[in-house]
Amino acid sequence: MRYALDALRRRPGRSLLTALGVGLASGLVVLLLTLSAGVTTSATTLAYGSGVDLLATSSSATSGPVLAGPLPPIPGGHALATEIPDVDPNAVVASPWLIGDLVFGNASLWAVANRSSVPSGWTYTGAGAVGWIPDDLAGIEVPTLYNGSGFTAAGDPHYAHGTYTGNSTHEIVLDQSLAGVLGVRVGEPVWASPAAPPSDAALPGWYDNATEFTVTGISSAFWLVPSAGLAFLYLSELQELIGGANASTDYATLILIHLHDTSDPAADEAKIGVAFPQLIVTTLADILGELQHIVNVYRTFGTLIGAIGLVVATLFATTILQMSVDDRSRELALLRAIGHRRADVGLEVVEEGLVLCGLGLAFGLPLAYAGAVGINRLLLRLVGGLPSGFSFVSFDPGVIVSGVAAVVAVGLIASTVPAVRAMQLPVAEELRAP
């Protein structure tokens, strides 16, 4: 080892550049691994802490178990909330949700629209909306309420047992992002409609036909429906806005099911699936498996990029070590002459390669960590609607071990040819050389 360090010290510039090259390659590999591990770890932690054990969508859904893109409606949403637990007593709750898009306007826009003087840049806001039964979510994690009392009425008053003749609460909860865009606080009004006005001149008419709601709460973002802005309403009231407020339709988009005993969710999946053929029931493990499949696709591309970097670093290190052997050929021959075995000489070259790559690792790991922290902060600012605690990167022990293993592999592979060259040096010729 001392001989390897001495060889590196005698050529500091070349050794430093090689170590930097290996460090950049290893840092890139570690950085790519932290990104894939971070998304997987965050999604898994959030999912298993959500209380959602089964997820049901319409049997006509074609987008798969992961919530990507619009999903077809499920008729009879309110009824399924009681029918599913009746069929499967292990189901604590089966919560029907309707997910849609609405257009929102605030009081300031309403005021200037009625004066026919809408300033440049003032416009309505499009955002996602979730309709649910607020007190029928036992065991399911919902967004944290930061301000306000939230929903105040029990059940779903407007639904009125399928008649849709009950009183509307006109209560709405906005996440912080949407509340910030609209510039509203708890107790202030917002107007919502499924359609946008065709022009600024049509704003007064749009407000006349939109539904006025009172903001009763400001919440955190929601892990299940990542969005830059999200509103929460009673299920029947959202149905009234976007369609489905009818006893023969009663549309929902998802049914979230929380179980008493979560040891065998596949059994509950099968039982509910047989009883309700209009539904596709998916376990949490299946959803995470689909997510992992998507992550693995991106990880494969990242691995290819990292592999290219490692190959380049290996070739660079091999060239430098080969040059080192040629520069020290007389010294190596002298070592052989005074009794060092061929294997000892080759081992010294391998040690030099490992030390060189170790120095690269010492540079690459801090660089990867700094890069991961910077990318995570950037993505958290760019991607709205992420729940608290979500991280795009995970600098876990497995990632570190993978980075160390990659660097050791580079060191061993890069030193193989130079080590063989050192062991095969003709001793007599090298010693006689001028």
Q: How many CA atoms lie within 13 A of 349 on its CB side?
A: 33
Token duo for residue 51: 């209380």
Higher pLDDT, 267 or 228: 267
CA–CA distance, 287 with 60 (Å, rounded to integer): 17
Kindly state the percentage of the chain with pLDDT values over 90. 32
Which H/E stretch holds residue 280? Answer: strand 279-283
3 has a pLDDT exceeding 60: no
Question: Helical H runs in 341-388?
Answer: 342-382
Low-confidence winner among 41-55, 151-165, 383-397 (lowest mean pLDDT): 383-397
Please state whether beta strands 125-132 and 230-234 pair in parallel, antiparallel, or not at all (unpaired): parallel
| Mean predicted confidence (pLDDT) in 362-383 | 84
Q: Report the DSSP beta bridge partners of residue 214.
A: 171, 189
Q: Report the DSSP beta bridge partners of residue 174.
A: 218, 231
| Mean predicted confidence (pLDDT) in 236-250 | 90
68 has a pLDDT exceeding 50: no
> What pLDDT sits at residue 428?
64
> What pLDDT sits at residue 67?
42
> What pLDDT sits at residue 155?
93
> Among residues 156, 111, 112, which one has the least CA distance to residue 137?
156
CA–CA distance, 374 with 162 (Å, rounded to integer): 52
Reported as a single tens digit per residue, the pLDDT across 287-339 is 666 666 666 666 677 677 777 878 888 887 888 777 777 777 777 777 777 77
Whole-Å CA distances, 314 to 4, 301, 407: 18, 20, 9
Task: Spell out where 68-210 has E strands.
Answer: 91-106, 125-132, 145-147, 171-175, 189-193
Asked whether the beta carbons of 193 and 102 are under 8 A apart, the reply is yes
Helix (H, G, I), strand (E, B) or coil at 91: strand
Reported as a single tens digit per residue, the pLDDT across 79-92 is 999 999 999 999 99
Reported as a single tens digit per residue, the pLDDT across 377-414 is 888 777 665 666 778 888 778 788 888 888 888 888 88
Number of helices followed by number of strands (H, E) in the chain = 13, 10
Asked whether the beta carbons of 352 and 324 are under 8 A apart, the reply is yes
Instruction: Give me the amino acid identity at 296.
Output: N
> What pLDDT sits at residue 10?
62
CA–CA distance, 408 with 368 (Å, rounded to integer): 17
Helix (H, G, I), strand (E, B) or coil at 54: strand
Helix (H, G, I), strand (E, B) or coil at 23: helix
User: If you average pLDDT over each of 11-15, 134-138, 201-205, which comes out highest?
Assistant: 134-138
Helix (H, G, I), strand (E, B) or coil at 433: coil
Which H/E stretch holds residue 231? Answer: strand 230-234
| Mean predicted confidence (pLDDT) in 25-31 | 82
